[in-house]
Structure 1
Amino acid sequence: MSRYASLITLLIMALTPLSTYAKVSAEEAARLGKDLTPLGGTRAANADGSIPEWTGGYVMARAPAPDAQRLPRTFSDITTDRPLFVITRDNLDEYRDMLSQGHLRLFEMYGDTYKMPVYPTRRTGAAPEYIYEGTRQNALKAEMTNFGESIENGAIGVPFPIPSHPQEIMWNHKTRFRGASLKRYNAQIVVQTNGDFIAHRLREDVRFSWSMPNAKPEDLNGVMAYFLQLTMAPPRSAGQVLLVHETLDQQENVRRAWLYNPGQRRTRRAPNVAYDNPGSGSDGLRTNDQLDVFNGATDRYNWKLVGKREIIAPYNGYKLIDNRLDYDDIIRADHPDQDLMRYEKIRVWVVESDIRRGTSHLYKQRRFYVDEDTWTIVMVDIYDARDDLWRFQEYHQVLLPWTQSVGPAGHMIYDFNSRRYLAMEMMNEEPLFEFVTIGEEHFRPANVRSVATRR
């Protein structure tokens, strides 16, 4: 019977377009900016007030002086907060129901040193008005097709602010507002069991075409983002360039990627920059689809929308992003210095993925926790083929109040088998990011070699 049931399910999927999960009615869309935030989160406080009402997010009229943009004193109304409480191994049972499986495993393995300082919840999420307006239009027009692998009739803002399908939530994460065009510098740090580490320093040029002011679906040429990554250090990897054109159709117009190898002085197509192929400079601690927590196609999994949950998660990591800290001040054996971390009680969408029969991936199952205010995936529990918890991702986001865009303060991937971890998107010792206009021509494959040689 199970075989026949599976065949019937596949037939229904083949005959039912996923666009039926997308557009909402005008009455539903009218909730945006009223009982829902302009991006689709629940505006009201929770029952006991521990999660407050959203009142517009954290907005600053203009950027502070360049030297102050990553210093906590710039955000004094947040960073002067004191922890409400600190979760330790001794009081863990009081908070167990509000923690991810990954955090519970960290306490199990490293409870002598691991702790979670929990602060008042600050609903800082915000975006520019044109992103809000684009989101309102998307709610009425955007469609998800090709079994969740494509977006049509959408641009600017969140495509599915009132989601009814798990892959819509994944698209919301992939298209969330992170600025329109920028140049940023960051480090990917492989941490060994004794605390020794090597930092891979990167420069990344990004054009989020989807988020450009006045972007229109017909003008995107099927590409939502352009990404160029130049490795600056260590010396053995310096000069390597990865170029990616991230498409809006992950099935028929798949991701286009190229790699430039400075030793060979050649640019080659790189079809393996996807799925569970190992990410560069990670010493095998992450897969390609774990960059930015999750990216790329979703077609190797069956997806399930579990629903909303109140949970304690990394949030508002302004202390962690402080550029007065060196990496030596942050990195420790087993886990970073937890005194620099900030956790808050927030509402998240919970989405689960299980490997689809006939496909393959290193990760059999993943559970994603997605912030309702920014659509950022803040945590992921990752299971292996034996259904054992293998890895855990923890994304510490910040909102840059003068741009109203979200970005990373740090992204940790813990490997429970090897007892090592990867600290990604760290910027403390790196040059300050720049919001600059970068044209599409910069991301042509023919331009890759000149980028590498100009570094």
Structure 2
Amino acid sequence: MQYYAQEHPEKDNFLFLYKQRITSPSSMAGEVLLVHETANQVKDPRRAWRYDPGRRRAFRTPTVAYDAPALASDGLSTIDNFDMFSGSPDKYNWELKGKKELFVPYNAYHLHSDQLSYDDIVRPGHINQEIARYELHRVWVVEATLKETKDNIYSRRTFYLDEDSWQALLVDHYDEQGELWRVAEAHALNYYEVPVLWTTLDVIHDLKAKRYIAFGLDNQESMYDFSKSMNYRQFTSSALRREGR
């Protein structure tokens, strides 16, 4: 389960508040990640806390950044893979390569349907392609190349951004030898009640491991309530400890 809020007493360099709770499997149930996301993370790195149900305590964690393994991803995703890319961009040189036409995941309303179960979507090797939808779109191509003085498991990333919304729809990730390693897809649709173009499902394919991970499956859950009001007090380390108890 994931929660967001956009209220913070320190607003100058604040982006959003984020909380993630693991409900299953039972071996990980109860683990909670809390993040205070900043806009300029070179100036002020994101702040993060983790609640460990085994030790029944919350503690500050400095590793929620860059290519640290993402929580509950079984090694198939990094922190900066979240939402196709998150965190500070300072480890890469960025270049706008221009536009091209490309088949990308788009208008994924069927994939978002509450008439589907997770078993309808998740299949061996890849999600059910009879449910996924792709269409030809103009995209901006942005290339990020790792700086010589920096470290990251991805030496290069190529982003394909929707021309209309600037949502990253596809990202190619290259290893240290320059070989294509992981491919990320963001299956997007319009949430007209907000309005915003956002994703219903993010998928990362690991071509070496021949496995994939899917983030955001929501078909068997209550739909997002964009009108729900949440406040800063729900996103403090003290609140994290109270939830654990």
**Paired residue secondary structure (2:238):** helix
Greater strand content: 2
Residue 446 of structure 1 corresponds to: 238
Tell whether the 8 Å contact from 1:311 to 1:346 is kept in structure 2 after alignment. yes
Deviations 1:286-310 (A, max 9, x none): 0011111110001111111111222
Deviations 1:5-50 (A, max 9, x none): xxxxxxxxxxxxxxxxxxxxxxxxxxxxxxxxxxxxxxxxxxxxxx
Aligned equivalent of 2:143, options 341, 344, 352 = 352
**Paired residue secondary structure (1:441):** helix
TM-score when scaled to structure 2?
0.95
Map 1:236-251 onto structure 2 (within 5 A): 236-251=27-42
Aligned length: 244
Deviations 1:332-391 (A, max 9, x none): 111111010111111211110111111100101000011122221000011101111101
Are 1:367 and 2:128 matched, yes or no?
Answer: no
> Structure 2: how far apart are the matches of 1:452 and 1:372?
43
> Structure 1: how far apart are the matches of 2:172 and 2:40?
27
Residue 204 of structure 1 corresponds to: 2
Tell whether the 8 Å contact from 1:316 to 1:342 is kept in structure 2 after alignment. yes
Deviations 1:150-183 (A, max 9, x none): xxxxxxxxxxxxxxxxxxxxxxxxxxxxxxxxxx
Question: What is the letter of the counterpart of residue 438 of structure 1?
Answer: M
Aligned equivalent of 2:78, options 261, 277, 287 = 287
Aligned equivalent of 2:188, options 387, 390, 397 = 397
Residue 437 of structure 1 corresponds to: 229
Going from structure 1 to structure 2, the CA distance change for 1:254 and 1:219 (only over 3 Å counts) comes to closer
> Structure 2: how far apart are the matches of 1:343 and 1:319?
12
Map 1:68-83 onto structure 2 (within 5 A): none
- Structure number with bigger Rg: 1
**Aligned-pair distance for 1:209?**
4.9
Question: What is the letter of the counterpart of residue 30 of structure 2?
Answer: G
Question: What is the letter of the counterpart of residue 439 of structure 1?
Answer: N
Tell whether the 8 Å contact from 1:209 to 1:224 is kept in structure 2 after alignment. no
Q: Which runs of 5+ in 2 are unaligned?
A: none
What is the RMSD of the two structures over their aligned residues, measured on CA atoms?
1.6
Residue 114 of structure 1 corresponds to: none
**Aligned-pair distance for 1:443?**
1.0
Map 1:30-429 onto structure 2 (within 5 A): 203-209=1-7, 220-429=11-220
TM-score when scaled to structure 1?
0.52
**Paired residue secondary structure (2:55):** coil
- Regions of 4+ moved over 6 Å: none
**Paired residue secondary structure (1:361):** coil
Tell whether the 8 Å contact from 1:310 to 1:346 is kept in structure 2 after alignment. yes
Tell whether the 8 Å contact from 1:393 to 1:411 is kept in structure 2 after alignment. yes
Deviations 1:68-117 (A, max 9, x none): xxxxxxxxxxxxxxxxxxxxxxxxxxxxxxxxxxxxxxxxxxxxxxxxxx
More deviation, 218-227/323-332: 218-227
Identity of aligned residues (%): 39
> Structure 2: how far apart are the matches of 1:376 and 1:432?
21
Q: Which runs of 5+ in 1 are unaligned?
A: 1-202, 211-217
**Aligned-pair distance for 1:221?**
3.5
Question: What is the letter of the counterpart of residue 32 of structure 2?
Answer: V
